[in-house]
Structure 1
């Protein structure tokens, strides 16, 4: 995998290290980014499931009322 160099504020990185519970700035930033991406995928999956449920409700033929 390709690597990139990013310059961040030291206080931001230290806070990420504390919250992630790791002693390495590299590991902390990687964990935060991976968590952010995973959270985005979970959100997309929930929205897709909700949209599918709505689509099924709308597409069902209505029973004759009488």
Structure 2
């Protein structure tokens, strides 16, 4: 599964994560909006970060 995000979107998610922790990774429910993050997405990111402890920037994550 591949999601193509622009770098600005990734930057915004990273800033929310830094500010709010894991809770910042989930989109808040809004009228008509479907949730974007699945549990599998979070698990995938955690596994990637554990395998490669290097620093990631928004361009690499996008």
Q: TM-score, normalised by structure 2?
A: 0.30
Question: Which protein has the bigger helix share?
Answer: 1
Q: TM-score, normalised by structure 1?
A: 0.29
Higher RCO structure, 1 or 2 (CA under 8 Å, sep 6+): 2
